Structure 1
């Protein structure tokens, strides 16, 4: 078994029965099942959804995306060993904890394999719901330049880099490019204020105004559950991104749920507690890889300046990173997953064949 074989770099070519094109993002691929297979699985497995709910198989890859690019390393290493399994395992752990705490459901109905979810179709809320407990990243960059208004929130004077904020701040941004909303920049990941969301809640796909309060409540509750659990293993939950959407339950009623992944090293900053108390930042998240890229390339502005996207894409396409860069990141993902879950992470030796076998034998989704 070679190192490269343990990596699932291509995840959009599995022979899963579907009558729709495979939707492939930077990390996950989504296979929408036929209506017959969706109904069959709902009935066989007694999923708590309406009987006509479309289902999908969502397969996570081990690809590594940063600064909107996918990165590869020497030696044919086209992803990070263990990354996909780590992200799914961490998300599964938090979603289970959310259920124990009686928070909202998620889009996940079943976990056939460490790299696979069976999910229900949801109508996404067009907001990247970001919670911040420390001032760092883009918030600190804006603050250090003198900005005190961040997403409509007035920040106090005298804050220092990487310090804990007086309270959890919710700083939303756009999910996708939204056009024609007054005061909202027509760009992906553009900061938005709560006032803009309230005034144009339907444009952000909220079904009713009260659901703006609900998403903030679910974000705060979820953030608190994860932060408290991480504190027990002496890790700091710095900031994170949540996503929300609407689904219908078995009775046909709309409900707001958590979508995508939660509390992972890809969607969050997680700092090591002992290092922080000594005045150092030790990242247990993808942020450390991002910082490595900024230091590795002689012109980091390419990675930061959105006006140089074509140069950035070319940089990622034509530069193989040292293999140790992805192996160091693999250690970060695997270690934090095992810390959080308290279990050894199962890294497949041949993930593609394992996925095909389980979806064929146990779910009847491969001809």
Structure 2
């Protein structure tokens, strides 16, 4: 199997702290700099899988940084540089404690809620008479926040966000506006590649100067769901599953193997062949969404490669 990077323990010049998320590891340095490393970890149902996926971190980082560049005329973002295929360097921000989830279609979590008979998601009404993967009359925003107990995401309404003072009304309205603009641009980019951007999530932070900026990742297979546009209508008419590029195929594989992240459930074993197939699916999405052939970085010694590239960039500042 190809080498993967699933954990890091770097010590960069001016380093102040490290935060390890489900997939990314964030090093905070002096002068309000962040070094964000996209690992090859794979998470689903808020659980990190025991094995890494070859090239996944590179794919996520390169799609996200490209999409940041393609949307910076609409929404300011945190990104300064990408000194390594797995690394983004940017401005440190205070993250908002909500994720702006926006959905153009009845898929994934929304579809599961709908099948359970619920027509209200995060305080937003979903029309009667829809079938899974139908397009909403207009995109809906269904925010999520971290649960008070544990690390899983929980649905939350705009009203509850404001009631609890998680975000001020002025800031929240700005987040909604930014999310809608980004989703529209992402939809246009996807359409040019023969894809449908089904749903996605955006995270935002506030700089020391009080400016709201886009942070983390954008329009990657971990944060977004894509369908192939070709044949979408025909598959809907026949009530057939859509051909999609997203992490949903991992979730469906886990569900079919009796795992949904619930207490007492056992993670199924991922064989070498399955790990390789997941890597191939991520590469497929990269090539479809960017229209470019994926160039695999040298993974002989990923740790030293990343450390050398980051230190060289920092010394050039």
Tell me the CA shift for residue 324 of structure 1: 1.8
The equivalent of 1:282 in structure 2 is 243
Among candidates 179, 188, 200, match of residue 240 of structure 1: 200
Q: For 1:1-367, what aligned pairs fall within 5 Å after superposition?
A: 3-5=1-3, 7-10=4-7, 12-33=8-29, 35=30, 38=31, 54-72=32-50, 78-99=51-72, 102-177=73-148, 188-200=152-164, 203-204=165-166, 206=167, 208-248=168-208, 253-279=209-235, 280-295=241-256, 297=257, 300=258, 302-305=259-262, 308=263, 311-312=264-265, 315-316=266-267, 320-350=269-299, 351-364=302-315
Provide the rounded CA distance (Å) in 1 between the counterparts of 2:119 and 2:48.
34
Aligned 8 A contact 2:193 2:291 in 1:
no
In our comparison, the structure showing a higher alpha carbon Rg is: 1
Question: Secondary structure of the residue that 1:254 maps to in structure 2?
Answer: coil
Q: Which has the higher strand share?
A: 2
Provide the rounded CA distance (Å) in 1 between the counterparts of 2:148 and 2:78.
23
Tell me the CA shift for residue 254 of structure 1: 1.3
RMSD: 2.1
- TM-score under structure 2 length normalisation: 0.90
The equivalent of 1:46 in structure 2 is none
Tell me the CA shift for residue 151 of structure 1: 1.4
Number of matched residues?
309
Tell me the CA shift for residue 167 of structure 1: 0.7
Q: Residues 229-257 of structure 1, C-alpha deviation per residue, up to 9 Å, x if partnerless?
A: 10111111111111111013xxxx31111
- TM-score under structure 1 length normalisation: 0.78
Structure 2 gaps, min length 5: 236-240
Q: Which has the higher helix share?
A: 1
Aligned 8 A contact 1:85 1:345 in 2:
no
Structure 1 gaps, min length 5: 39-53, 73-77, 179-185
Provide the rounded CA distance (Å) in 2 between the counterparts of 1:71 and 1:88.
19
Provide the rounded CA distance (Å) in 2 between the counterparts of 1:195 and 1:361.
47
